[in-house]
Chain A
Amino acid sequence: MNPTRHLTPDEIVERVFPADDRAGAMPEHLATCADCQESVAALHDAWLLDRGAVSGAVDDLPSGFWEAQAAATMAGVRAGAPVDAPVPEVGVFPSRMRGILRHPALAFSSLAAALLLVGGLSLLRSGSTAPPVQTATVTTSEVREVTPAAVNDASDDELLVSVDRALEDSSLAGLVVEETL
């Protein structure tokens, strides 16, 4: 560095905020230039004041503040789930419905196709002596054991389980099931 040239703003900042654990060697010019020393000192002092101010603002808070913060934090902790319990999956929609939300066009076209199949098969079989197609009346108790959390999901599941059952009865259903998957 030219010993007669003043420090650039970058060099001044680098003196105070080195990007390494150790500051670089002091430029020769800085040792003799009062203006540059003043610039570095001003930034250094301001930084120390700033650091002291933010630390002091926290460190000197009264003990009552920390007690209140600890109490509020522990209240939040206790309100949370037990640590060894599995974290419940949070969502407005039951898991089966989420698939519909991800691929609505595919899911609804499959549903429409399934309903058409069921309707068509019912018409074809209506004149024959074969036993009627097992359709759709499925109670929630048949689906699974009902828990309070599952009650809201039950009606959605009823529809989907009914469609599944109807599809299982149809020899053509495999195509639709494949598409849905």
Chain B
Amino acid sequence: MSVDERAAKREFESEILTRVVAGDVDAFEYFVVTYQKRITRFVYTLLRDPADADGITQDVFVKAFRALPEFQGQSAFETWLTRIAINAVRDHIRRRKPVVSFSDLRADPDDDGPELPAAFDPADGTSPERDLLSRDIRRRIAEALVALSPRQRAVFVMKHYEEKSIAEIKVVTGLDEGTIKSHLFRAARKLRERLEDLR
């Protein structure tokens, strides 16, 4: 999206926001329809649980709607929404402390990792050995991600799954560049610990 397109979109959204704040609740549906898929994907990548992703996404929009009077318009609506999503995921993680540790899960040889639709089975079919290795690494990546702190997880997912730049992550999280890199480094280190015996 070009700079002009981005500015036009922001102006358009600003007009809709004005209508919503003035009482046109139905106008808010534009934001739901426009951003629900992106927020769902983001939350799902963070939590790896489809039901949680669905519920939290709905919650994010309701919270955003309620907090609209506080939205200053200094950032894009999408950025603000992502910030609300990160906080919602953080709150969800804090509320739901894992009963079983991931090290216990890793010890289970029959555990193939988070359930995924058959169409997204990570096996690429090149060879049984390679399929097995891919599955194993994927499972460990998912475990490592879920074991990260909410903030590390959000930063890692934005960088490596949403391919956002450090500058973009900085805008969303409000963290400085050094802190973001530190989170990324620590997240990668935890990932490495999960993959210690890879080679």
- A-side residues, CB < 8 A to B, are 6, 9-10, 12-14, 17-21, 35, 39, 42-43, 45-47, 49-60, 66, 69-70, 72-74, 76-78, 80-84, 87
Contact = CB atoms under 8 A, between A and B. Distances in A.
The 10 closest A-B pairs by CB, nearest first: A46-B137, A19-B184, A53-B120, A58-B41, A49-B122, A13-B192, A76-B62, A19-B185, A73-B58, A17-B188
Contacts of A57: 44, 50, 116-117, 120
Contact of B28 (A18, A42, A50, A77): A77
Contacts of A35: 199
Instruction: Name, among A17, A59, A72, the residue most crowded by chain B CB atoms within 10 Å (CB to CB).
Output: A17
B199 to A, nearest CB: 5
B155 to A, nearest CB: 10
A42 B141 contact: no
Instruction: Name, among A13, A18, A59, the residue most crowded by chain B CB atoms within 10 Å (CB to CB).
Output: A13
Interface stretch (B2-10, B64-72, B80-88): B64-72
Nearest to A72: B58
B66 A69 contact: no
Given A13-B192, A54-B41, A66-B37, A83 B23 contact: yes
Nearest to A60: B119
A35 B41 CA distance: 35
B133 to A, nearest CB: 6
Contacts of A19: 181-182, 184-185, 188
Contacts of A82: 23, 25
Given A52-B120, A55-B161, 9 more contacts: A9-B196, A20-B181, A46-B138, A50-B141, A57-B117, A66-B36, A69-B57, A73-B58, A83-B65
Interface string B159-192: 1110001100000000000000110110111011
Contacts of B138: 46, 49-50, 53
B20 interface: yes
Nearest to A17: B188
B54 interface: yes
Interface in B100-151: 116-117, 119-120, 122, 124, 133-134, 137-138, 141-142
A77 B65 contact: yes
A10 B32 CA distance: 41
B61 A76 contact: yes
Contact of B199 (A9, A50, A60): A9
A139 B176 CA distance: 59
Interface string B26-46: 101100110011001100110
Contact of B69 (A10, A55, A76, A83): A83
Given A58-B41, A69-B36, A83-B23, A42 B184 contact: no
B183 to A, nearest CB: 8
Contact of B58 (A14, A69, A78): A69
19 contacts: A6-B199, A9-B195, A9-B199, A43-B137, A43-B195, A45-B134, A50-B122, A51-B161, A53-B116, A54-B48, A56-B119, A58-B40, A58-B53, A59-B41, A70-B29, A82-B23, A83-B23, A83-B68, A87-B66
B161 A21 contact: no
